[in-house]
Structure 1
Amino acid sequence: MKIERLYSIGAYTVDYDPSVPCLIIDNVGFITSQEFRTLLDKSLEIFEEKKKIHGKMGWLPNLTKADVFLEDDMKWMASYFNPRAHKAGLRHMAFVLSEDEYAAASFSVESYQEYSEEEVGDQIINRNFKDEESAKAWLREVLNVN
């Protein structure tokens, strides 16, 4: 099955991979708070639409080329986005991070995951991966969609 580009804002894109199934949010460079929140809101709309087809969907943010995210945005994502995403059926997020442990986005993800645990506990399970294929393999396994 072919991966389909469904949305973009600046250098950020939202792709749909029906073979997993999941949304792939590819983050390149810096994103403003407004763009970030618009991207997540639009991605959640797409997620809800595609989940109707599959029953279950994964979320795969590829942050290998992303800059640091603002702390307020990580808090917003954990406290505002996560409850909405959970209500929409999101249960698994597979982050793809740079192999450079000092990459800026890695620190942002760490902050987000701490805030997320405080806000929704383990209702949305987060895992970190070094490449998209490993992330997709995990999502296929946990989603158990055939």
Structure 2
Amino acid sequence: MPDQIIFSEPYGSVLVDISVPCVITQWHAFANATAFIALQQFALEYFEAHSSPARPWGWVGDVRQMGAIPAKAQAWLLADFNPRATAAGLREVSVVLAETVFGQIATQTYAQNTAQARPSYELNTQFYNSLEAAKAGARLALSH
């Protein structure tokens, strides 16, 4: 079954793959802080409605075309997104590697900040070379 698009803007989309199951945030371009948070917030609300610690879903961030993540959005990810996502059962974010240096720096910063936030919450970040590999990684993480 193909991924289902549940939100779409020129800068990014939110998709669902129920075969994993996972939410996929797919970035098409740079998003300012307001747009970045709006897309992530939409995806997070969907995730919270469908995932639970007893029946967790995965999360895939397809950041191949993403630009930088503004500082305000990075702070929101740590203070709001991560705690809410882990409360809903998320234990690992599977990230498709960025093709731009700005996206690479942004995702590395997110992974480092998330690792430093322990023991507030336990959330790992794993990097993959393709969307299919990231989905397989999310599926594997859910099986543990």
Is the shorter-chain TM-score for this pair beyond 0.5, marking a shared fold? Answer: yes
Aligned counterpart, 1:127: 126
Change (3 A) 1:120 1:82: farther
The answer as to whether partners of 2:68 and 2:103 remain within 8 angstroms in 1 is: yes
Q: Which runs of 5+ in 1 are unaligned?
A: none
Matches of 1:45 and 1:79 in 2, distance apart? Answer: 16
Q: Is the 8 A contact 1:62 1:96 kept in 2?
A: yes
Please give the alpha-carbon distance, in whole angstroms, between the structure 2 residues aligned to 1:77 and 1:61: 13
Over 4 Å off, 4+ runs: none
2:77 corresponds in structure 1 to 77
Kept after mapping to 2: 8 A contact 1:75/1:115? no
Q: Which moved more, 1:82-91 or 1:116-125?
A: 116-125
Q: What is the aligned-residue RMSD (CA, Å)?
A: 1.9
**Normalising to structure 1: TM-score of the pair?**
0.87
Q: Report the alpha carbon displacement of residue 80 of structure 1 after superposing the two structures with TM.
A: 2.1
Q: Is 1:2–1:18's contact at 8 Å kept on the other side of the alignment?
A: no
Give the match for residue 58 of structure 2: 58
1:134 deviation in Å? 1.0
The CA distance in 2 between the partners of 1:96 and 1:140, in whole Å, is 14
Tell me by how many angstroms 1:97 deviates: 1.1
- Give the TM-score of the pair, scaled to structure 2: 0.88
Identity %: 26
For 1:26, the aligned partner's letter is: Q
